[in-house]
Amino acid sequence: MANHHRIEMDGEIFAPDVPSLARELHMQLQRYIAAQYPIRHATVVAERHALLETAGVISQEPFIESMPGYTRGKQYHELALPQETRIVLEELAQKDTVIPAQLYRHQAEALETFLGQDRDLIVVTGTGSGKTETFLLPILVRFLEEA
């Protein structure tokens, strides 16, 4: 049975934690360079190995940035929007590919502000927070209303 939480490289199986994966990729690149550019002189081979082991020469330590969790917002049927709009949004959300199944709070508030109160707004939030959807959902709804 396959274990989807392990990776096999060069016949070895290991758990893909970020530091281990970075080290394995670094070693794979070292082996590739050695195979593609063979050197016969032992001293030069040792110098190349030492150089390739130096941080920043062929790879660097991974930079890991944690992302905040964003608060879930209202369901589409709970939004302060016209009933027809809520029904269409619910139907689109069930298709899994058109719009997010669940909005973040700032997305729901933006939809209610723009579509329900007809006010312009500016949304400033972090990476991965759904700014694109926040921008595009009102446009999609306006298209649907005009169709």
CA 68 – CA 71 distance, rounded (Å): 9
Residues 93 and 136 in one domain: yes
CA 133 – CA 143 distance, rounded (Å): 15
Per-residue pLDDT of the chain (147 residues; tens, 9 = 90+): 344 556 666 677 666 788 888 888 999 999 999 999 999 999 999 999 999 999 899 999 888 877 778 999 999 999 999 899 999 999 989 887 778 889 999 999 999 999 888 888 898 888 888 899 999 999 988 898 888
pLDDT of amino acid 37:
96
Q: Is residue 27 assigned to a domain?
A: yes
Q: At residue 17, what is the residue type?
A: D
CA 49 – CA 44 distance, rounded (Å): 8
Q: Is residue 44 assigned to a domain?
A: yes
Residues 130 and 82 in one domain: yes
For 3, the token pair is 């274990």
How many structural domains compose the chain? 2
Q: Is residue 30 assigned to a domain?
A: yes
Q: Is residue 45 assigned to a domain?
A: yes
Residues 48 and 88 in one domain: no
pTM of model > 0.85: no
pLDDT of amino acid 16:
72
Residues 142 and 81 in one domain: yes
pLDDT of amino acid 15:
63
Q: Is residue 129 assigned to a domain?
A: yes
* Domain containing residue 93: 76-146
Closest Cα partner for 99 from 88, 109, 83, 114?
A: 88
Q: Is residue 43 assigned to a domain?
A: yes
pLDDT of amino acid 7:
64
Residues 33 and 89 in one domain: no
Q: Is residue 17 assigned to a domain?
A: yes
Q: Is residue 47 assigned to a domain?
A: yes
Q: Give the count of alpha carbons within 13 A of 109, CB side only.
A: 11
pLDDT of amino acid 21:
85
Residues 49 and 98 in one domain: no
Residues 80 and 126 in one domain: yes
